[in-house]
Structure 1
Amino acid sequence: MTLPARIDGALRRLTDAQWVPQLLVRLFVGYFFLESGWGKIHSLDDFAERFAEWGIPAPAFNAALCGWTEFLGGLLIVLGLFTRLASIPLFINMLVATLAVKMKEVGGLDDFVELDEPLYALSFLWLFFSGPGWVSLDHLLGRALRRKYAGQLEPKVPA
């Protein structure tokens, strides 16, 4: 077997295994947000006080929104259910946390690259584009829907 053929085979195997990082990111990041959101919704008064200190408008509402977004979004990400949809509000949550709170502490690029929130935002952006992988409820749901609507999903091309 030639070297290019071996390299091509190795690259194909890596592509076939892309479900592994999708699953690991979903489980680790999703669980982190599930647990973080759980803590926030069970101490909303304290969390709302912190929102007020940070100067975030409507602190009680936004603290509850943030906590429930993290809890429910994290749960959906772990399950791989509506992953792409769930990643949008979680991405926005991290963007707001970065811009409204964390950037006040940033003095330069060295400080910025040490923040966790942009990494979480990038994880959700990656999940939005890559999807949850085949080890997910999204995959099972999609497969069932494709079977049910098999003939109806192909585009109809006029003759």
Structure 2
Amino acid sequence: MKKLLFSASPLGSRLADVAWLLLRLHIGLSIAVGAGWAKLVSMTTATEAAKLAGGQAALGPPDWFVQQVATLGFTFPSPYMWAWLATWGEFAGGLLIAFGLLTRWSAVQLAFQFFVIAFLWYETPEPVLGMYYQQLLFWCFVLVTVVGGGRYSLDYVLTQHRSRLSELVPTRRVATATAALVLFLTTACLAGGSLKSDLLIEPGKQFALGGGQPGAFRVVARNTGTVSVEIKERPLGGGIFGKATLAPGQRAILRFLPGSTALLLNPSDKKARLDLHVTGDTNLSMGYEVNGKL
């Protein structure tokens, strides 16, 4: 496990190690700042230094990126989750590559991201021969995955201090106990609370359930009325995504991310009725909104 996490070895010469360090710093910091952090604070260019100070935007992926992720097919359980993971993967992964810590793991996830960008998202992909920066970055991250951090990396420092590394990496017994505790707490949280409601939705209105809560929640909804009801998700980072349309008598099980709002829309001119069973984080705000509010 230690070798897998922190393995690093010198290259053929110190000059090669210096060149490798410069490459790591360039691709790591450019991705962390120009791609990851830029999305987190909604920068339009990588040189907007004022936004780097923070406080101007919530740390989350912008709506355009969430929609881009959705168009690529990453919609389960929510495109916002995948956009969030990709954005933080760029930011944290880039920094880790620059400092040479967990270098291979960081490079693997970034190589996957840029494989999607270079060969699935790009309008006219040209594997190997294509001269566009998305593909160049993909091959850079593949190379970093193979080579590792090199001499001038934290991975190399840790491998040279085995006693210190033993303190940083938990023993198998501690890791097993920690995993069991996390599993127990997760199960307890999921089973801890529930909320049931026989909900009436006025014509042309939508009922908003949740928004800003720290935990995820699940909704089991059954349409007990005579008109169809649309169910959508409004992520914390913005945007709105369709989840299901329940015809009278239909039932669905829907999951919503932390911070998201479940929107139950009645587009008809008659009252709608739903039987709801909510589990997970049930400390949710509730209220009616004008139909179509984003």
Does 1:81 pair with 2:101? yes
Query: Which residue is equivalent to 2:197?
Result: none
Q: Distance in 2 between matches of 1:107 and 1:90?
A: 18
Please tell me the root mean square deviation across aligned C-alpha atoms, in Å. 2.5
- The Cα offsets for residues 27-85 of structure 1, whole Å up to 9 and x where unpaired, read as 00000111110112234223213333555433212211110110010010011101111
Aligned with 1:46 (options 36, 56, 64): 64
Name the CA shift for 1:84/1:109 in 2 (closer, same or farther; >3 Å): closer
In structure 2, the gaps of 5 or more residues are: 1-10, 43-60, 167-294
Aligned-residue identity in percent? 32
Does the 8 A contact of 2:158 with 2:164 survive in 1?
Answer: no
Q: Which has a greater percent of strand?
A: 2
Q: Give, as a single letter, the amino acid of the residue that structure 1 aligns with 2:29.
A: Y
Does the 8 A contact of 2:114 with 2:138 survive in 1?
Answer: yes
Question: Matched residue pairs, number?
Answer: 133
Q: Give, as a single letter, the amino acid of the residue that structure 2 aligns with 1:49.
A: Q
Report the alpha carbon displacement of residue 108 of structure 1 after superposing the two structures with TM: 5.8
TM-score (normalised: structure 1) = 0.72
Secondary structure (helix, strand or coil) at the match of 2:149 reads coil
Q: Distance in 1 between matches of 2:96 and 2:18?
A: 18
Query: Which residue is equivalent to 1:22?
Result: 20
Q: Determine which structure has more spread, i.e. the larger CA radius of gyration.
A: 2
Q: Give, as a single letter, the amino acid of the residue that structure 1 aligns with 2:145.
A: F
Q: Distance in 2 between matches of 1:143 and 1:107?
A: 42
In structure 1, the gaps of 5 or more residues are: 1-13, 150-159
Q: Distance in 2 between matches of 1:107 and 1:131?
A: 27
Moved over 3 A (4+): 52-56, 107-110, 146-149
Q: Give, as a single letter, the amino acid of the residue that structure 2 aligns with 1:15.
A: G
Name the CA shift for 1:128/1:146 in 2 (closer, same or farther; >3 Å): farther
Does the 8 A contact of 1:18 with 1:133 survive in 2?
Answer: no
Does the 8 A contact of 1:88 with 1:128 survive in 2?
Answer: yes
Report the alpha carbon displacement of residue 18 of structure 1 after superposing the two structures with TM: 1.6
- Greater relative CO, 1 or 2 (CA 8 Å, sep 6+): 1
Q: Distance in 1 between matches of 2:138 and 2:70?
A: 23
